[in-house]
Structure 1
């Protein structure tokens, strides 16, 4: 799945991020815990350069916990500070400020030694579309201050948001890179909802999903759709039709495809991680 998609507002956002980096202490890189490799923007290193960074693996409640542990260990071994969280969970979100202070400990110690009065940490939130930036902001504030939606492109501009006296956040639109050279990455991002569905062939995407689930999470697939072990050995198009029939869709291939993708994204198929540590972290 080769996808080229770089709307004008994303090019503008990239320029604005580069210009405003000088105003922040740290970058919060928000990543989908189900795609801890594929949902990291390869342009980000170039954009933020040496600015301190905290990697936030969001939607950890939807991800395979065993895989999340492996990815945390991996990122930590690469000298990154990383935190797995669920943006809607108070206990989870409250870990962000202490983690940020740990990343900035040398800077904060220098300022303290110079007698500089402590101030709120200024951070910039960066990530690809649909990783949960607006949900995180709303939960930190305890009210709706940013628009949310289970689709990319919801956040259109940049805004400073203050949270108590410890943190000021600059929200930014999700920024994708111009072209996905690796078709597998494009496919995974499409499954997660990071790419607008009208750019995709949903039936092809549903078949890719079935292939993935059959390989890594067969029990979850069988339980959700009442499938037998023998059902899983069918050709993928036949398996999709079988699921359609069990859901009362008869042979409605398109309806079954859309249902399958939506149920994966919403967590109804159980916890899963599309980026398998054993295959990608080499």
Structure 2
């Protein structure tokens, strides 16, 4: 299943962000700690690298992520030039309080009366940007909702007389290259519901959980996971909970919804859908698949050209 989602307002948001980046000192990119690279927008990366802006990569919702995987991701990002990784949750005021200090460390020449520190907050939809903005300001200035793309316009607000926050709408990118990225984003509620089939997303999530966290499935639903596939897990959730449609058949749709909800809310436990190693392996597989696809296309094109040449010779 290939998931793509780039509503029209995001193209305008992208252009506005490119303009504002020129007058920004530090970029905060808010990532989902459960899937940091899948939730890392390549458009944001290109913009900030082009402008040579330092980046504070916030691994948000770290309270929902596997702490071992999060530590690996923090090391991965901290090894990059001009990047600081910060695992945190907006539920802890002490976590939020450190953000401006970390930004000042990335731009030590700013944050004085004559040169205020200008911080742009970016990220994909529903990753927690608006909640972070409200937590930083200690008041509600950004609309928050449990649906992707609630914020649609850019805001510029003074945190204090030395610090300016630029809040941007959640931004996706036009084409998600790897199907698994789209499915991880959908499972984590970063994709609009009109762009996905929830049952297929739940089956994908179940397969990841079988591979990485079978003990959490067993503990939450009482499943014996050995020999199961993703479909069987979703069915098992429904059978354990007694989800039936009229007539007595299993309510697969409701079962899928519950599995996704339990993952998103943390009821299943602390889960990460990728690690730096699994990401590298997935990228390698994708590159090999693309190479094979290109070779097949080239072979078909060559065969057609040869057939056309024979036809001309024959005539």
Query: What residue in structure 1 maps to residue 73 of structure 2?
Result: 71
Q: CA deviation at 1:239?
A: 2.8
- With structure 2 as the length reference, what TM-score do the two structures score? 0.82
- Retained in 1: the 8 A contact 2:153–2:168? yes
- Retained in 2: the 8 A contact 1:232–1:239? no
Q: Residues of 2 paired with 1:22 and 1:234: CA distance? A: 52
- Retained in 1: the 8 A contact 2:33–2:62? yes
- For structure 2, the 5+ residue unaligned runs are 245-249, 282-315
Query: What residue in structure 2 maps to residue 96 of structure 1?
Result: 99
Identify the match of residue 173 of structure 2 among 171, 177, 196. 177
Q: Residues of 1 paired with 2:74 and 2:280: CA distance? A: 12
Identify the match of residue 233 of structure 1 among 227, 233, 236. 227
- With structure 1 as the length reference, what TM-score do the two structures score? 0.91
Q: CA deviation at 1:117?
A: 4.2
Q: CA deviation at 1:281?
A: 4.4
Q: CA deviation at 1:75?
A: 0.8
- Retained in 2: the 8 A contact 1:119–1:165? no
Q: Which moved more, 1:213-222 or 1:46-55?
A: 46-55
Which structure is larger by alpha-carbon Rg, 1 or 2? 2
Query: What residue in structure 1 maps to residue 300 of structure 2?
Result: none
Q: State how 1:158-197 maps to structure 2 within 5 Å.
A: 158-197=154-193
Cα offsets for 1:32-58 (capped at 9, x unmatched):
111111110111232222122211111
Greater relative contact order, per chain length (Cα 8 Å cut-off, separation 6+): 1
Q: CA deviation at 1:166?
A: 4.5
Matched, 1:47 2:41: no
Q: Residues of 2 paired with 1:117 and 1:4: CA distance? A: 44
Q: Residues of 2 paired with 1:119 and 1:19: CA distance? A: 19
Q: How many pairs are equivalent?
A: 273
Q: Which moved more, 1:191-200 or 1:118-127?
A: 118-127
Instruction: Give the direction of change, closer, same or farther, for the CA distance of 1:218–1:118 in structure 2 (3 Å limit).
Output: farther
Cα offsets for 1:18-37 (capped at 9, x unmatched):
11122221111111111111
Q: Residues of 1 paired with 2:195 and 2:98: CA distance? A: 37
Cα offsets for 1:89-131 (capped at 9, x unmatched):
10101111111111112x34xx9xxxx7465421111101111
Matched, 1:249 2:252: no
- For structure 1, the 5+ residue unaligned runs are none
Query: What residue in structure 1 maps to residue 8 of structure 2?
Result: 8
Q: Residues of 2 paired with 1:67 and 1:236: CA distance? A: 22
Q: Which runs of 4+ in 1 moved over 6 A?
A: none
Q: CA deviation at 1:275?
A: 1.5
Q: State how 1:141-156 maps to structure 2 within 5 Å.
A: 141-156=137-152
Matched, 1:60 2:59: no
Query: What residue in structure 1 maps to residue 279 of structure 2?
Result: 280
Q: CA deviation at 1:134?
A: 0.5
Query: What residue in structure 1 maps to residue 267 of structure 2?
Result: 268
Q: Residues of 1 paired with 2:90 and 2:11: CA distance? A: 27
Q: Residues of 1 paired with 2:216 and 2:41: CA distance? A: 30
